[in-house]
């Protein structure tokens, strides 16, 4: 079944961030916050996991947001409205736990991780929660969906490393202030592994601040997304092995051994570079780097 691209937008002006609407009625019908899809662009395409960043059940549409980081995401950025993707598997992964909490929930999105925060904030708000969102990126051009996130948040805090918008510094700066000033029921952090590690450390109760339950969304390498290949496995601090695709992708951040994950992140870097360089050589029309 072909999956048509209905909308494509560049987000910001970095040339690396894109939003796409895909016609996928069956997936849209069953999608919830926390779910992801695995797409193949064409017969030779590798499988790329991407979060369902929004869904419209009535029109049978899901939205993805992706950052160009290598060959497949560059190839995806070269697809246009009306083009069809070869296949999409999903929805995969678990829906996030939805509950009405007493105190506010802090949702933190770093870089492209802002997109998966939106459905989580939306569904938790619909359940009656108060949401404080923190969006962070290196610079303001990499922040997107300000209005969408504001529409599901009581408070929206922006952070940039270079101070070009909002608070200058990392997302942990306002988070530290929030959890030292008021009771927070839950923290959700989605973004680069190092950001999720630092957030989980801050909320662990070992930093002189109250311990706050924290979920992180693990973007380990995934191939099948259904618990069979072992690509996404990770050890928890007690040495037990877990599978991010079927147990997550949202996992209790306090059990994750981030140091091992950070080491494993770059294990295919050389092959990824070769494949990217080869594609760039073949491709005459690339317009993003």
Ligand X SMILES: Cc1cc2nc3c(=O)[nH]c(=O)nc-3n(C[C@H](O)[C@H](O)[C@H](O)COP(=O)(O)OP(=O)(O)OC[C@H]3O[C@@H](n4cnc5c(N)ncnc54)[C@H](O)[C@@H]3O)c2cc1C
Residues that bind ligand X (CB under 6 A): 36, 48-51, 65-67, 69-73, 112, 115-116, 219-223, 249, 265, 269, 272, 276
Measure the CA–CA gap between 3 and 86, rounded to whole angstroms: 7
Query: Does 227 sit near ligand FES (CB under 6 A)?
Result: yes
Please spell the DSSP secondary structure of 11-52, one letter per residue: -TTSSSEEEEEEE-HHHHHH--TT-EEEEE-STTPPPEEEE-
Q: Which does 86 bind (CB under 5 to 8 A by kind): ligand X, ligand FES, none?
A: none
Query: Does 249 sit near ligand FES (CB under 6 A)?
Result: no
- From 5-13, 153-161, 225-233, 265-273, give the range in contact with ligand FES by CB under 6 A: 225-233
Q: Which does 230 bind (CB under 5 to 8 A by kind): ligand FES, ligand X, none?
A: ligand FES
Considering only 91, 225, 248, 253, the residue that binds ligand FES (CB under 6 A) is 225
Instruction: Kindly write out the interface string for residues 81-120 of this chain, putting x where it contacts ligand FES by CB under 6 A and - elsewhere.
Output: ----------------------------------------
Query: Does 6 sit near ligand FES (CB under 6 A)?
Result: no
Considering only 86, 231, 247, 265, the residue that binds ligand FES (CB under 6 A) is 231
User: Contact at 8 Å (CB) between 192 and 171?
Assistant: no
Q: Which does 77 bind (CB under 5 to 8 A by kind): ligand FES, ligand X, none?
A: none
> Among 185, 189, 176, 109, which residue's Cα sits nearest to residue 148?
109
User: Contact at 8 Å (CB) between 165 and 146?
Assistant: no
User: Contact at 8 Å (CB) between 67 and 40?
Assistant: no
Determine the number of helices (DSSP H) and then strands (DSSP E) in the chain: 9, 17
Q: Which does 119 bind (CB under 5 to 8 A by kind): ligand X, ligand FES, none?
A: none
Residue 139: strand, helix, or coil: coil
> What does DSSP say about strands 84-85 and 167-168: parallel, antiparallel, or unpaired?
unpaired
Instruction: Write out the residues near ligand FES by the rule CB under 6 A.
Output: 222-225, 227-232, 243, 245
């Amino acid at each position: 079944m072909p999956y048509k691209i209905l909308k494509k937008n560049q987000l910001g002006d970095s040339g690396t961030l894109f939003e796409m609407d895909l016609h996928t009625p069956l997936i849209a019908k069953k999608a919830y916050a926390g779910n992801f899809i695995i797409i193949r662009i064409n017969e030779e395409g590798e499988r790329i996991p991407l979060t369902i960043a929004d869904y419209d059940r009535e029109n049978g549409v899901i939205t993805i947001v992706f950052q160009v980081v290598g060959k497949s995401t560059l190839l995806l950025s070269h697809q246009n409205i009306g083009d069809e993707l070869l296949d999409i598997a999903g929805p995969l992964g678990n829906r996030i736990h939805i509950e009405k909490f007493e105190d506010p929930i802090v949702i933190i999105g770093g870089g492209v991780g802002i997109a998966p925060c939106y459905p989580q904030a939306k569904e938790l708000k619909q359940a009656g929660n108060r949401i404080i969102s923190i969006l962070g990126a290196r610079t303001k051009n990499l922040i997107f969906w300000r209005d969408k996130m504001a529409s599901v948040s009581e408070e929206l805090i922006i952070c940039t490393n270079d101070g070009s918008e909002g608070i200058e510094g990392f997302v942990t700066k306002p988070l530290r202030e929030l959890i030292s000033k008021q009771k927070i029921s839950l923290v959700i952090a989605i973004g680069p592994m190092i950001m999720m590690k630092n957030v989980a450390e801050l909320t662990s109760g070992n930093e002189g601040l109250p311990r706050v339950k924290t979920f992180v969304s693990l973007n380990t390498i995934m191939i099948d997304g259904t618990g069979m290949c072992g690509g996404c496995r990770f050890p928890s601090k007690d040495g037990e092995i877990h599978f991010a695709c079927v147990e997550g992708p949202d996992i209790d951040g306090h059990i994750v051994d981030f140091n091992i994950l950070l080491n494993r992140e770059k294990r295919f870097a050389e092959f990824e570079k070769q494949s990217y360089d080869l594609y760039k050589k073949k491709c005459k029309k690339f317009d993003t780097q």
